[in-house]
Structures are given as C-alpha cells and as structure tokens.
Amino acid sequence: MNPVLGISLKVLSAIVFTMMSAVLKTLMDRYPVGEVVFFRSFFAILPLCLWLGWNGELINGLRTKNVIGHFKRGFLGTGGMALGFTALSYLPLHDAIAIGYASPLILVVLAAILLKETVRAYRWTAVAVGFVGVLIMLSPYLSPKTFAGGMMAGPALGAACALLGAICSAGAMVQVRRLTGTEKTGAIVFYFFILASALSFCTIVFGWKMPDATDLALFVLGGILGGVGQILMTECYRYADASVIAPFEYTTMIWALLLGWFMFGDLPTPTILTGATIVAATGLFIVWRERQLGIERAKELKVAPQKPGA
C-alpha cells in the first residue's frame, strides 16, 4: 500500500476524465448517448494496448481468473457512463460533475460494508462534511421550481441521471477494488472497454448518425482520454483503500470550472463555489489525517522489534 501514490494517480485520472467529459459534451447535442458511449469505449482500447505493449504484457496482461467479476464491473460501469453522458447533455459541465460527487460518498459506505475496509471516525466526519458541500452544490436542482415541468424536464432529468450514474459508478468501483486482488490492470480495463463497446453497439438499432471528420476526431480524442483516465483510475486502487481514494474525486470541480468557462462560457454560481470549497477542504483534511496515521504506523513498526520476545 502506498497512499500518496494512489492519491496522485487518482488526481491525474480526475484531470483526464474532466477533459474527456468536456470533449464529449460538445457532441451530446448531435449524437445519441449509445453512440457516444460506443466511440468513447472503442477508441479507449488503443492507449490500453499501447500501454500493455510498452510494458511487455500485451498477452499475459489480459489473462483473467474472474470472468463473472468483469461482467459485473462492465454492466455497472457502462450504466454509469451512459447515465453520466445523458446528464452532460442537460446540465452545465460543472453541475453534472458536482452531482457525480455523490459517488465517492457512496463508495466510502460500500467500501466499509462490502470490502470491510477500516473507516475511522475522522474520515466518516470528513465524508459527512463533504456531503454537506455536495448538497449545497445540488440545491438549485432540489427546489420545487426545478421540477415544475416534471421529471422529463431538462434540468430535472439531467440531475436524476447524474445521481443514478453516481450510484452505478460507486458500485463499479467496489467491483474494481475486488478485481485488483487477482486481476492485472490491463485485464480490468480491457474487458470493461470490450463489454461497454458491445453493450452500447446494440443501441445502433435505435438509430445512429454518421459523424463528419471533425466530430470523428473528437470521438477519437474523447476515447483516448477515457482510456488513459481509466488506466490511471484502476491503477490507483492498488496503492490505497477505496475509502482513502474516493474523496479526491472532488478535485474534478477545479478542472470542470476552468473547462466549463473556457469551452462553454459557463460561469459558476456562488452556490457552486461554496460547495466546492467545502469538499476541497475535506479532501485536504483527509490528506493531513492519512499523513499523521502514516507517521504513527512508522513509529510503531520502529518500536515493535525492541519489545521482549520480538
């Protein structure tokens, strides 16, 4: 276990995934969500194969001992991806990502219940405070005015899809944590992309649109970014508990605010900024707390051999 490395990989994956979301958001108003999921998944296989080839694991890296586990991760991950992309088509980039912040909070709970990870009171408190920040950011979508047009109204539907996608993503990450016990990173990512491509390709019967050269280039770019982000995200769970990694999903708000303003002209409201500040503070607190625990563990290990009978 190496929490610092795991956290660093998670932050890098957050940056890459936010860039991917911004690129694909430009396509959501012109193409069905199933088509977007397919191209994002299919072209993500390219960086994965290059990465495996570079490490000399193109064959051995794809061996698997848990086919059923890959199917579970694939179905949950594909569902979360489709719901998340649907949310992007109805909401500003930073708002869609803000609602997705429910996923790390759900993940901490699932990690404690299903993975039996130790989550101490300090971390539970930080997660609770972070959840308050998420609720502040979500408050514009929780008012009666938002639902005046019914659940099929744009903002309400987008918020509902983002929340359901967060639940699916949390479940998928629990499954990833289980798979890392026996599977290599290449296998986990490769079989997810294959299954996601196959499932989304089935939606072609509902009507797809042939992309022009510019849009095809954007699809390829989005897929490559998604592949790199997926590798980084999967690898980070090898070095730290899921409940430690989860809060650093919040760093995506920084990149979402910047890209949302630069690419779409979306300026954050004071409500969004207030909530983002709170969740960022909780992330910094967890970094400090984990560092303190690491120092304490190191002292215990240093003293242990000196005990009688050691």
Owning domain of residue 161: 3-304
pLDDT of residue 250: 74
pLDDT at residue number 79: 93
Helices 213-236 & 185-201 angle (0-180, nearest 10): 140
* pLDDT at residue number 309: 47
Concatenating the DSSP letter of every residue in 99-111 gives HHTHHHHHHHHHH
Q: What is the pLDDT of residue 143?
A: 66
Q: What is the pLDDT of residue 213?
A: 94
Q: How far apart are CA 127 and CA 195, in angstroms?
A: 32
Rounded mean pLDDT for each run of 10 residues along the chain, 310 residues in total = 85 91 91 94 91 79 84 92 91 84 77 78 82 80 61 71 89 87 84 93 92 94 91 81 73 84 83 79 71 69 57
What does the pLDDT read at residue 76?
93
Domain count, the chain: 1
Residue 309 within a domain:
no
92 domain residue, yes or no: yes
pLDDT of residue 267: 79
Residue 191 lies in a domain: yes
DSSP single-letter state for residue 115: S
Question: Per the structure block, which two tokens stand in for 221?
Answer: 């770019």
Let me know if residue 62 belongs to a domain.
Answer: yes
- The answer to whether residue 255 sits within a structural domain is yes
Q: What is the pLDDT of residue 276?
A: 75
Q: What are the C-alpha distances in Å from 199 to residues 39, 204, 231?
A: 12, 10, 21
The pLDDT value recorded for residue 124 is: 83
Asked whether residue 310 is assigned to any structural domain, the reply reads: no
Question: Per the confidence metrics, is the pTM higher than 0.85?
Answer: no
Q: What DSSP state is assigned to residue 240? A: S
Q: Would you call 289 helix, strand, or coil by DSSP? A: helix
